[in-house]
Amino acid sequence: MYHLIVTPVGPFGYAVAERLRDLCHDIEVAGAPAGSVAPPPVPDPERPSGPRLNLLVAWRRVPLMEREFDEESFRSGQPWLPVVLDHPVLEIGPVVVPGAGACHGCYLRRRTQHDPARAVRAAVENHYDSDAVAGPAGYLPSTALFAAAAAADVVDRLRNSPEDEAGRVRQIDVPTQQVRSGRVVGVHGCPRCGLGRPEATRSYERLPELLSGVWK
């Protein structure tokens, strides 16, 4: 059973985190004061061992934190889940389970691959990385409640069957409540969620081992 650690960013993140207290068991909330939009620290890699699920809840995209959470996940082997209000879409996922699905970096590369406005998105996210308070202000309480309920459902699914949830992304259009769901396909050559070996050498690096009995 995963111990749930929620790291909220911004007022929306804290509103979702408080509702998650009522919806999930074995949960703790980390981070800065509730009114802050400053990035909280990434999960502490020195915390006691044991299965844990790191859940990042943010009021808008936090590109640097998302990268840091992904890196910590693959260092520790612990899963993580982003919940981001990327207006007008509430995005839950991808569910990152090291060794059982695509990493968050592969998701970002796939998103860029299919995004006709990739240059605009890149400029906005670079600005977000440089200015912690930039972003759309305000949210509806009903959106926070809906986000908490949807995230709690994913947490339950992940706790019961991590492999089935690995790589799953759910996107909810907030104005219409329409839901899209899919699974991320890892990018060829990714050293994290692929074979874990450098692409440049993996085609031949095991040849000496495999051919050791052929000649002396």
Q: What is the pTM of this model?
A: 0.83
- In the chain, what are the domains? 3-188 (3.40.50.720)
Q: What is the pLDDT of residue 32?
A: 55
pLDDT in tens, 38-51: 555 666 655 656 89
CB atoms within 10 A of CB 89: 14
Q: State the DSSP string of 5-29.
A: EEEEEHHHHHHHHHHHHHH-SSEEE
Task: Give the 3-state secondary structure percentages of the chain, helix then strand then coil, rounded to 5.
Answer: 35, 20, 45
Quote the CA–CA distance of 12 and 16 in Å, as a whole number: 6
pLDDT in tens, 66-100: 999 999 999 999 999 999 999 999 999 999 999 89
Q: What's the distance, Cα to Cα, between the start and end of the chain in Å? A: 51
In the predicted structure, residue 200 carries a pLDDT above the cut 80: no
Q: What is the pLDDT of residue 115?
A: 87
pLDDT in tens, 113-149: 888 889 999 998 899 888 989 998 889 999 999 999 9
